Amino acid sequence: MEISQKTDVNILRRTTFSPRVKNAQIQLICGPMFSGKTTHLLNAVNEYRAAGQKVFVFKPKLDDRYAEEAVVSHDKKEVEAYPVSKSMEILDYYMNADVIAVDEVQFFDEKITEVCEKMANDGKTVVIAGLDMDYLGQPFGAIPQLMVVADEVKKLNSVCAFCSGRARFSHRVSEDNGVVVLGEKDKYVPLCRSCYNELNT
């Protein structure tokens, strides 16, 4: 009781209480390959733009499966995006934006968490999308930290390539080793938990 009274007194003594920023949020969209993460991100970008917000879109430079300077979904929808090689580079551009969208966020260095927090602390809406697990089922890049700092986490499912169940895993069908191997259906298929376990035991 003593502690809460003390806290209350401190709050009441503040003569003004006006939050400096409104609606600042980090929204994380994650899931396996082909679960609609990029589609979801692009829809959010278009909705914010339709509402008159200034939206900047970023993607990691290593992901050049489609256009160099665009984020493209598997359904071939796209928006223009700045490719950046280090997460800190985003801080050189974000100030004039209301909303910052980042795709393939799992490929960024660990500073991406700090970068997202800084932008949200400055009043920006930050929408980020990425794979939550690598092909071994391990957390991908800075995703665990981003899940902690995010205000909202949306986990999407894909359709299992074997049984059409709800897929949570991205199974690598090629022989390549290494966590980062870029590719499409030639390299990865989405699998549900039981089909993934069946193939990995």
**Residues with catalytic annotation?**
104
| In the complex, minimum distance from the CB of residue 194 to ligand ADP, in angstroms, rounded to a whole number | 16
Nearer to ligand ADP, 46 or 121 (CB): 46
Q: Which of residues 126-165 bind Zn ion (CB under 5 A)?
A: 160, 162-163, 165
Region near Mg ion per CB under 5 A, out of 13-21, 35-43, 119-127, 150-158: 35-43
Nearer to Mg ion, 46 or 197 (CB): 46
| In the complex, minimum distance from the CB of residue 72 to ligand ADP, in angstroms, rounded to a whole number | 8
Q: Where are the alpha helices (DSSP H) in 97-175?
A: 112-121, 143-149
Q: Are 22 and 122 a contacting pair, CB within 8 Å? A: no
Residue 123, number of CB atoms within 10 A of its CB: 13
Q: Which of residues 121-150 bind Mg ion (CB under 5 A)?
A: none
Type of residue numbered 105: V
The structure tokens listed for 145 are 């930290």
Chain residues binding ligand ADP by CB under 6 A are 31, 33-39, 73-75, 158-159, 161, 190
Q: Are 105 and 143 a contacting pair, CB within 8 Å? A: yes
Q: Which residues are paired to 156 by β-bridges?
A: none
Report how far apart, in Å, the C-alpha atoms of 186 and of each of 34, 160, 178 are.
13, 15, 16
Nearer to ligand ADP, 60 or 190 (CB): 190
Kindly tell me which residue out of 35, 38, 87, 113 binds Mg ion, with binding defined by CB under 5 A.
Answer: 38
Angstrom distance (rounded) from CA 141 to CA 110: 7
Nearer to ligand ADP, 34 or 48 (CB): 34
Residue count of the chain, please give it: 201
Contact positions vs Zn ion (CB under 5 A)? 160, 162-163, 165, 192, 195
